[in-house]
Amino acid sequence: MKRSSVIAILTDFGTMDAYVASMHGVILSISPNAKIIDISHSIEPQNIDEAAYILWTSFRYFPKHTTFLCVVDPGVGSNRNIICVETQDYRFIAPDNGLLKYVLDFVHRPKIIAVKNQEYFLPHVSSTFHGRDIFAPIAAHLANGLSPSKLGPRTTPLFHAEQFVEVDTLFNDVYYGSIIHIDYFGNIITNYLVKENKNKILRLSIGKKTIHKKYSSYSDAPLRTPFQIVGSSGLLELVVKNGKATDYISVPIKSRIKLTVSDD
């Protein structure tokens, strides 16, 4: 893979404390020419699924050969593996806890390496802050041209690729899925990846509520009415024009949902 100085960081560290800044400092001390981009540091603490979704929605729009440094790590300090995934276009460093599950489904023939070589860690590793002491220096060395093969042996991750539920609206059928994210605007995002067909009715059942209204844009929809829309990621969302869907539908992340495709 060609060398790149772009490092994109995704964590659940927030921005109130010095955690993110110290990671930036470590990276720039090792790779002064690195270009650091913060994807988000507002992931709900320990929410691996949310981080997996946010990474999946964003990574394809970064320059080729970007290194993604991903730290949502409830198992920090344990014997869990840190993995480096090398693809044709990108590199990802993350705990082996499912954070890369959607990425692994999207990419082809990834090389997965267990990060073991302490030569590329900071000299003193805190048991509570591997983001600073392991992930950040590894990302910086990769940006400097280090081959991932130097980090450790090839491995098979404990958490494998996970697919979205592909909905083919050419046929009548019933699908079962879940809520995977609620965004800043209160939009409820499902794991249904929809192939659009305007002649079909999609009934989305959440608890005792069923939503069947569907619009292609917010401008087409009425106010104060929950409806379906295929969002920018291609996933089916429940939204409210100029409002929050969560004000009308009380549903936690990971809730099970049912989608029925029919002619009427």
Report residue 225's pLDDT band, with 50, 70 and 90 as the boundaries: very high
3-class DSSP state for residue 31?
coil
Q: Mark whether 143 and 182 lie in a shared domain.
A: no
Q: How far apart are CA 58 and CA 48, in angstroms?
A: 16
Domain that holds residue 126: 6-151
pLDDT digits (tens, 9 = 90+) for 183-223: 999 999 999 998 776 678 899 998 888 999 999 899 999 99
Phi, psi of 169 (to 5 degrees): -85, 10
205 contacts: CB under 8 Å, gap ≥ 6 = 257, 258, 259, 260
Place of tokens 């004000």: 247
* pLDDT score of 169: 81
Q: Mark whether 112 and 11 lie in a shared domain.
A: yes
- 246: CATH: 2.40.30.90
In the chain, pLDDT over 90 holds for what percent of residues? 82
In the chain, pLDDT over 70 holds for what percent of residues? 97
* pLDDT score of 170: 79
Report residue 251's pLDDT band, with 50, 70 and 90 as the boundaries: confident
Query: What is the C-alpha radius of gyration for the chain, rounded to an integer number of angstroms?
Result: 20
Q: How many domains does the chain have?
A: 2
* pLDDT score of 171: 83
Q: Mark whether 139 and 41 lie in a shared domain.
A: yes
Q: Using the predicted structure, report yes or no on whether residue 3 has a pLDDT greater than 70.
A: no
Q: Mark whether 178 and 141 lie in a shared domain.
A: no
